[in-house]
Structure 1
Amino acid sequence: MATIILSVLIFGGAGVIVYRKIKNGASCEDCDCGCPVKEEQSK
C-alpha cells in the first residue's frame, strides 16, 4: 500500500512539473542542450 502511495506522489509530482513547463511556454530555445526535438525544429 505504501508503495502505491509513494509512486502516485512521485509520478504526480513529475506530471505537475511537466505541466507547468508546458503551460509556461518553455521552448527548446530555453534549453542549451541538444535534443532530437530541437534538431528536428531547426530543419
Structure 2
Amino acid sequence: MATIILAVIIFVTAAYIVYRQVTGKSQHCEQCNCSCPAKNAQETNKAK
C-alpha cells in the first residue's frame, strides 16, 4: 500500500512540474512568459 501511495505522489509531482514548464509559469516573474498583475507591478517599480 505504501508503494502505491509513494508512486502516486511521485507521478503527481512530476506531472505538476511538467505542467509548470509547459505553461511557462514559474516561481520567478522574470521566467514567466505570460502577463500577470505581479509581473506588471514589478516592471512598473523597476521603471521608477
Same fold (TM over 0.5): yes
Q: Deviation of residue 9 (structure 1)?
A: 1.0
In the alignment, structure 1 residue 16 sits paired with structure 2 residue 18: yes
Unpaired segments ≥5 residues, structure 1: none
Q: Which has the larger radius of gyration?
A: 2
Unpaired segments ≥5 residues, structure 2: 25-31
Higher relative contact order (CA 8 A, sep 6+): 1
* Cα root mean square deviation, aligned: 1.9
- CA deviations over 1:2-40 (Å, ceiling 9, x no partner): 011000111011000001122xx632x1x4xx44xx232
Taking structure 2 as the reference length, the TM-score comes to 0.53
Separation (CA, whole Å) in 2 of partners of 1:3 and 1:42: 45
- The number of residues matched between the two structures is 35
**Percent identity among equivalent residues?**
9
